[in-house]
Amino acid sequence: MIYTIFEIKFTMNAQQFRKLLFFKIPIAWVAGLRLKSFAQNTCEITVKLSRWSQNPFNSMFWAVQGMAAEFTTGFMCMSKIQKSQEKISMLVLEQNGKFTKKAVGKITFVCDDGAKIDEIIQKAVETGEGQTLKLFSRGYDEKGDQVAEFWFLWTFKKKN
C-alpha cells in the first residue's frame, strides 16, 4: 500500500519508515525506533535499549517508550485519515503512561485499535464536529511481559 505522510509518498516498509524518521523526526531515528509491522488495524514499533535510549538506571528512558507508543497510535491514525481521502486534522489532547516492569532489551509497542479509528473518522466526517478517541499502546519485552502501557486521547476534526 502507498501512503502519503508528511507530503512524502512511500510504500510502508521498515526501510521507508527509517527514512521518514531520519528526514522528518530525527529524534525518533536517533532513539532507534523501528517499524516491526503495520497492518490495517495493528501497528507495532520496536526500540532497543541503547546508549541513546537509556536512563541513568540502565533501563529505557520513559520518553523513548512514550515516543514509540505514540507512533503506534498516531501512525495508524494518519494512514486511516489518508485512506479516507478526507481533510481531517488530528492532535493529541492528553496522554498517560503506566510502567509495570523495568524496560531492558528490545521493547515492542503494539496498538490494535484500528477499527475504532475507522469509526471515529467516519463520525467526524458525518457530523462535521470534533471527535475524541482514547487509543492504547502496550509495550512488551522479549519474554512477552508487559513493561508499559500508554494511552493517548486523540482529537479528530474535519477541515472546512
pLDDT in tens, 100-150: 999 999 999 999 999 999 999 999 999 999 999 999 999 999 999 999 999
Query: Alpha carbon of 84 to those of 14, 119, 123, 145: distances in Å?
Result: 23, 11, 12, 35
The 10s digit of each residue's pLDDT in 22-41 is 898 899 999 999 999 998 89
Phi, psi at 35, each rounded to 5° = -80, 120
At residue 31, φ and ψ (nearest 5 deg) are -70, -20
